[in-house]
């Protein structure tokens, strides 16, 4: 990323995106270069405390994000009173931690008694789980494709560590099975709307008010979910819980980015991701400890009570106050920082405080995300990252289903915990690899590499496995279905690994290249796109996996488009964050590989950058251009 040098009057920024009239001091707008060093960067004790306070809630967020795998896991079920030798009323097979349930079109295979014995859980339609209930009959020996749903009561074999969950409490099986997928929709749809709406609000009123109100309302709605009397009430309240959770996720992400100097942003963000993954890994133990879904839901939400203390200990984003020209509030906050860090205000070498005193009379200048429509480059960058996020999270479900779905019969993956921890481990390894790759290749290079891996895994799975399947039909080929299954698992693991990195890196990339004045709005767009990608999973399940192959093909094509579009993005590694739309517009991309010495670069350097509008205005006025001038600026001599 290269910020443009000061522009001459004829070469100002595009009139639709910003105005140079009455601009505040450049020293105050250079937050990373002047204000942050004055406050001690991340070396100040108070700044470290604030970063720590953004990490701790990531654990609670991890619990909430993965709670559906336990609350809505579709268990094995059969008619109450059915014992060995009888037929199953229905058997659900799950993938990706219970997110791929499908109780119809089941193969005729023996009932897996080992997972049943390991789970040891039981439930029934009455919801009784006390010691006075009769012993649970043994699970039937084998299933049948024709489900017998004429029963009025069922027994359940819940594998997610709970004695009772939402499905078993309200008998969401057979004709009511579709309600499970609607319940899964509710949290995701709430997250999508929450990202879009709270992002815009946070850019207008500030990060802190949105965070605090989201905490208050998630406590109200989240605890009320545990008191739901039917599945309709449960789904409705989960929507509002997801809406408030989105506000917490988004504001903490933005605050974390805005607190850090350029060299520490990625590391600080990845630590928060690892803390959230700790919540994912601890979730099965928490479910086994609670035993009942209502207790589990309450235990997930109660830790947010601690965040009510943030009202008194967590300040507004100083970077946002400076970018929106709220200099009176910014001055008070800077003095608060210096007092907490026990700094001497006389150490202000660059003169930040004197400049701030001169600008106190300015009126705040807040911006909405819709302003990005009038830009020339910024909106393209955001759209590219939204498509990347949508593709990464959308195709992740395709790979997960290929590995843990019906078409691959691996005994290990039929166990709920093996399924759950396999997915979590792949995500953990993906984040570790992302740290290494981004360190050496940068944001754009890392995103490009992971997108190429995702495209290769997807195309090979769609094309090569089809070819192997044809050859396996010939007896002399030496190939069998087991070879195809092994290749499918390998490609699925690579695809899940790479697609998770694509989605996570797209969100972080957007947070860096979006200006501070609209950062939450931009983050809301890319996070909502990720939510739409994840929403495709329950949609496919609701249609009984119909259209899955087309779903995979569409996302595979999107990966190829994304590979081309990623090359249009700038590189943000070790660069200052843009503070206003003008800064974001004047960030330019560099080639992935530096040009050789003496070779004419294809893109401009800092000294050669010229605004397009200046050249066009000069040409329209009939002025003669200097010798060697081009549409991209001055050609190097």
Residues 214 and 294 in one domain: yes
Element (H, E) at 523: helix 519-542
Match 């609607």 to its residue by tokens. Answer: 182
Which of 26-30, 109-113, 179-183, 466-470 has the highest average model confidence (pLDDT)? 179-183
CB contact at 8 A, 435 and 265: no
Residues 622 and 578 in one domain: no
Residues 362 and 381 in one domain: no
Greater model confidence, 344 or 599: 344
- The two tokens of residue 581 are 């739309």
Residues 553 and 415 in one domain: yes
Check residue 573 and report its DSSP letter.
T
Banded model confidence at residue 166, pLDDT cuts 50, 70, 90: confident
Question: Which of 343, 366, 389 is where one domain is finished?
Answer: 366
Q: What is the predicted pLDDT for the residue at 73?
A: 80
In a domain, 14, yes or no: no
Residues 387 and 494 in one domain: yes
| 3-class state of residue 169 by DSSP | helix
Question: Which of 346, 366, 386 is where one domain is finished?
Answer: 366
Taking 50 as the threshold, does the pLDDT of residue 98 lie above it?
A: no
Banded model confidence at residue 245, pLDDT cuts 50, 70, 90: very high
Kindly list the distances between the CA atom of residue 425 and the CA atoms of 117, 262, 437, 616, in Å, as whole numbers in the listed order: 25, 29, 18, 54
In a domain, 246, yes or no: yes
Over residues 263-267, the mean pLDDT reads 90
CB contact at 8 A, 143 and 87: yes
Residues 560 and 470 in one domain: yes
Greater model confidence, 341 or 235: 235
- φ/ψ (deg, to 5) at 109: -130, 155
In a domain, 131, yes or no: no
In a domain, 16, yes or no: no
N-terminal to C-terminal alpha carbon distance within the chain: 23
Residues 430 and 558 in one domain: yes
Taking 70 as the threshold, does the pLDDT of residue 289 lie above it?
A: yes
Question: Which of 366, 390, 414 is where one domain is finished?
Answer: 366
Residue 157's DSSP bridge partners are 76
Taking 90 as the threshold, does the pLDDT of residue 19 lie above it?
A: no
Kindly list the strands in the beta sheet with 123-124, ordered across the sheet, starting from the edge strand earlier in the chain.
76-79, 154-157, 123-124
In a domain, 435, yes or no: yes
Q: What is the predicted pLDDT for the residue at 220?
A: 94
Greater model confidence, 596 or 30: 30
In a domain, 608, yes or no: yes
- φ/ψ (deg, to 5) at 72: -115, 20
In a domain, 216, yes or no: yes
Banded model confidence at residue 139, pLDDT cuts 50, 70, 90: very low
- The domain of 615 spans 604-637
Least confident of 132-146, 356-370, 536-550: 132-146
Over residues 291-313, the mean pLDDT reads 90
Question: What would the pLDDT profile of 323-340 be if each residue is shown by its tens digit?
Answer: 888 888 888 888 888 888
Kindly list the distances between the CA atom of residue 26 and the CA atoms of 23, 110, 516, 581, 637, in Å, as whole numbers in the listed order: 8, 72, 15, 14, 31
User: Chain-centre distance of CA 327, in angstroms?
Assistant: 33
Residues 297 and 383 in one domain: no
Q: Say how many domains are in the chain.
A: 3
DSSP 399-466: HHHHHHSTT---GGGGSHHHHHHHHHHHHHHHHHHHHHHHHHHHHHHHHHHHHHHHHHHHHHHHHHHH
Residues 312 and 250 in one domain: yes
Residues 414 and 478 in one domain: yes
- The two tokens of residue 22 are 């009455």
Helix and strand numbers (H, E) in the chain are 22, 5
In a domain, 200, yes or no: yes
CATH number at residue 215: 1.20.1250.20
Residues 487 and 349 in one domain: no
Q: What is the predicted pLDDT for the residue at 630?
A: 47
Banded model confidence at residue 572, pLDDT cuts 50, 70, 90: confident
Question: What would the pLDDT profile of 192-202 be if each residue is shown by its tens digit?
Answer: 999 999 999 99
| 3-class state of residue 623 by DSSP | coil
Question: What would the pLDDT profile of 447-464 be if each residue is shown by its tens digit?
Answer: 999 999 999 998 888 877
- pTM for this one? 0.79
Q: What is the predicted pLDDT for the residue at 292?
A: 86
Over residues 180-189, the mean pLDDT reads 88
Average pLDDT over the chain, rounded to an integer = 76
Angle between helix 265-290 and helix 481-513 axes, rounded to 10 deg = 130
Q: How far apart are CA 376 and CA 599, in angstroms?
A: 29
CB contact at 8 A, 214 and 198: yes
Banded model confidence at residue 469, pLDDT cuts 50, 70, 90: low
pLDDT above 70 as % of the chain: 69
Query: Across the chain, which distance is largest between two alpha carbons, in Å?
Result: 96
Angle between helix 548-566 and helix 519-542 axes, rounded to 10 deg = 160
pLDDT above 90 as % of the chain: 32
Q: What is the predicted pLDDT for the residue at 635?
A: 47
Taking 90 as the threshold, does the pLDDT of residue 247 lie above it?
A: yes
Taking 80 as the threshold, does the pLDDT of residue 386 lie above it?
A: yes
Which of 78-92, 113-127, 428-442, 591-605 has the highest average model confidence (pLDDT)? 428-442
Residues 352 and 381 in one domain: no
């Amino acid at each position: 990323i290269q910020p443009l040098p000061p522009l001459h009057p004829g070469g100002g920024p595009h009139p639709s995106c910003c105005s140079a009239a009455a601009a505040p001091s450049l020293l105050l707008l250079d937050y990373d270069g002047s204000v942050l060093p004055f406050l001690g960067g991340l070396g100040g004790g108070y700044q470290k405390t604030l970063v720590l306070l953004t990490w701790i809630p990531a654990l609670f967020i991890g619990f909430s994000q993965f709670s559906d795998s336990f609350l809505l896991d579709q268990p094995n079920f059969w008619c109450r009173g059915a014992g060995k030798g009888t037929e199953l009323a229905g058997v659900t097979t799950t993938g990706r931690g219970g997110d791929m349930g499908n109780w119809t079109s089941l193969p005729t295979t023996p009932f897996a008694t080992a997972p049943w014995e390991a789970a040891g859980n039981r439930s029934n339609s009455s919801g009784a789980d006390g010691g006075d209930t009769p012993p649970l009959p043994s699970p039937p020996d084998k299933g049948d494709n024709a489900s017998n749903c004429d029963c009025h009561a069922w027994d359940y074999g819940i594998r997610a560590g709970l004695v009772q969950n939402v499905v078993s409490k309200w008998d969401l099986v057979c004709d009511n099975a579709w309600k499970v997928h609607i319940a899964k929709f509710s949290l995701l749809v709430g997250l999508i709307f929450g990202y879009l709406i709270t992002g815009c609000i946070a850019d207008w009123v500030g990060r802190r008010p949105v965070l605090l109100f989201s905490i208050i309302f998630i406590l109200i709605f989240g605890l009320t979910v545990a008191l739901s009397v039917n599945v309709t009430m449960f789904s409705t309240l989960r929507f509002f819980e997801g809406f408030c959770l989105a506000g917490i996720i988004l504001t903490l992400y933005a605050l974390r980015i805005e607190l850090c100097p350029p060299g520490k942003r990625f590391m600080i963000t990845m630590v928060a991701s690892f803390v959230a993954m700790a919540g994912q890994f601890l979730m099965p133990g928490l479910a086994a400890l609670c035993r009942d879904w209502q207790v589990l839901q309450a235990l997930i939400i109660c830790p947010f009570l601690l965040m009510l203390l943030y009202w008194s200990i967590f300040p507004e984003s100083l970077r946002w106050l400076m970018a929106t020209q709220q200099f009176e509030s910014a001055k008070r906050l800077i003095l608060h920082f210096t007092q907490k860090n026990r700094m001497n205000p006389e150490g202000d070498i660059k003169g930040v405080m004197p400049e701030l005193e001169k600008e106190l009379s300015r009126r705040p200048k807040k911006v909405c995300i819709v302003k990005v429509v009038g830009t020339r480059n910024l909106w393209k960058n955001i759209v590219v990252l939204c498509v990347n996020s949508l593709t990464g999270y959308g195709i992740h479900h395709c790979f997960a289903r290929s590995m843990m779905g019906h078409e691959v019969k691996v005994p290990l993956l039929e166990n709920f915990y093996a399924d759950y921890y396999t997915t979590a481990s792949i995500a953990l390894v993906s984040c570790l690899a992302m740290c290494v790759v981004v360190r050496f290749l940068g944001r754009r290079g890392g995103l490009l590499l992971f997108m190429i891996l995702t495209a290769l895994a997807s195309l090979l799975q769609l094309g090569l496995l089809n070819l192997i399947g044809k050859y396996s039909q010939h007896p002399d080929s030496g190939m069998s279905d087991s070879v195809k299954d092994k290749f499918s698992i390998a490609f699925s693991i690579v695809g899940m690994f790479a697609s998770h990195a694509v989605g996570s890196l797209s969100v972080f990339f957007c947070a860096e290249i979006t200006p501070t004045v609209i950062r939450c709005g931009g983050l809301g767009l890319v996070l909502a796109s990720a939510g739409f990608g994840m929403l495709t999973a329950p949609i496919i399940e609701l249609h009984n996996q119909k259209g899955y192959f087309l779903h995979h093909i569409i996302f595979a094509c999107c990966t190829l488009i994304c590979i081309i579009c990623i090359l249009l993005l700038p590189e943000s590694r070790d660069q200052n964050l843009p503070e206003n739309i003008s800064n974001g517009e004047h960030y330019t991309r560099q080639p992935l590989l530096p040009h050789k010495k003496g070779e004419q670069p294809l893109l401009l350097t800092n000294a050669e950058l010229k605004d397009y509008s200046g050249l066009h205005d000069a040409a329209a006025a009939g002025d003669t251009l200097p010798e060697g001038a081009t549409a991209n600026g001055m050609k190097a001599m």
